[in-house]
Chain A
């Protein structure tokens, strides 16, 4: 492998890791606080992407220059509303019944997938990035000497999400509450905190990030109906590798999974999926709680 090729594959790995991080961090926080394995998390990605599609093309066709920004806002808002409804109408009532929540979210994801197929059809779709993020910029070392501007932007978005969440978790009262809830939900409740309300808020944030990823990811690459399962499975692997409920753990997990996937594809295209699974198996064997995860009791 040449240096140019290595640099390119590494940058590709960072790009997909960025997207995986944005999706998986919501999944991880939701599990951390509520112990809910949200099997509809990939659906939130898809809901965000299609909410974006619903507003993007009509505006774009009229030549509206902020179409992408509006689509991004619609994706974030659409997924957040969907997530809040899911938590308020269904999951909140089953708090503590993990198996029931898991089955209900699988059911929701199947129903939602059919509805989205009926409304938006089976063709794959893609957003056009705004002019400022269109095309490529020169990047030293990589093959051809150029790299997609939007993919670099995707990395910047993930970094901003990571820093923003870190600041919320460590510098605000909400952050103190969320971390306490991840540690000991019942004790937090006994301190007079309305944990059910905090859960809705965390669900909204996690879902909004999945929606954000839907529009950002749907701009970098075409997306179709199959993305819900793909992003759910990737989120699962990322948090298993990095550690459930941990922000740095999810970042590390996303990075490792993204790199394993991209290097796997370029070195052994036929067996690339094995790399991701192998990574998960190794972590499970040596550190079942994930690389940076806390031991679950």
Chain B
């Protein structure tokens, strides 16, 4: 579905992505890695939100590198960015109306409210008045209403209470069953390994290894080496 080839991104003299290649198929695919390794930059580069120096991104057979975020979004990729980036001036309902593709689309506003009843309760609240968990639901709903073929999620579990992390895992599994592709950036290994079948490990702007999720959750030495964790969550 999505194929990234030798992608390079620099900010000034610092080369943040030093030739990243990865393939996302129909199964959820996760990217893990310590802070500052370039995971968010990778998400934004695919989405067209930061300029790309070289390399290629092919989505659904079409080349999308160097395209504007508008064009990338319209080609069928949605993003749930790190920090959620909900719009502080918009109410929950306005967020949904902004991206809604109508009643007959697979994901409609009604379906979002059915799936996340909490958002229906907070309909009239502004984006900045929501709790972290509510903002995350809203950011995911905003992506779903675009009815994308692939969703890029950047650390969705960040800052969520443990019960909400469990809820998040359920939601992500459901999306996978609906055949929505998922590129999941996660430092929380429990989330990454319970949702994705393969996990790529990012180290200093490169993919150091791609391993099956089951192998990563079993191999503590591997976790320590690349992720600096020993318990499976940080």
Measured CB to CB, the residues of A under 8 A from B are 173, 176-177, 179-180, 182-184, 186-196, 294
Contact = CB atoms under 8 A, between A and B. Distances in A.
A84 B77 CA distance: 31
A180 B79 contact: no
B87 A192 contact: no
A186 to B, nearest CB: 5
B89 interface: yes
Interface string B34-54: 000000000000011100000
Contact of A191 (B48, B89, B94, B98): B98
B146 interface: yes
Contact of A190 (B49, B88, B90): B49
Contacts of B70: 189-190, 192-196
A288 to B, nearest CB: 19
B142 A191 contact: yes
The 4 residue pairs across chains A and B that have the minimum distance between CB atoms: A192-B73, A189-B69, A190-B69, A183-B87
B99 A192 contact: yes
A188 B49 CA distance: 11
Interface string B59-99: 00000000011101110001101000101111000100111
B190 to A, nearest CB: 28
B80 to A, nearest CB: 10
Interface of B: 47-49, 68-70, 72-74, 78-79, 81, 85, 87-90, 94, 97-99, 142, 146
Contacts, number: 60
A183 B97 contact: no
Given A180-B87, A189-B70, A192-B99, 5 more contacts: A179-B89, A180-B98, A186-B69, A189-B68, A191-B78
B85 A180 contact: no
Contacts of A196: 70
A173 B146 CA distance: 16
Given A177-B98, A192-B99, A192-B146, A183 B73 contact: no
B47 A184 contact: no
A80 to B, nearest CB: 24
A189 B73 contact: yes
Contacts of A191: 73, 78, 98-99, 142, 146
A12 B47 CA distance: 53
Contacts of A192: 70, 73-74, 99, 146
A171 to B, nearest CB: 11
Q: Which of A180, A184, A192 has the most CB of B within 10 A?
A: A192
Given A179-B90, A192-B70, A187 B98 contact: no
B200 to A, nearest CB: 22
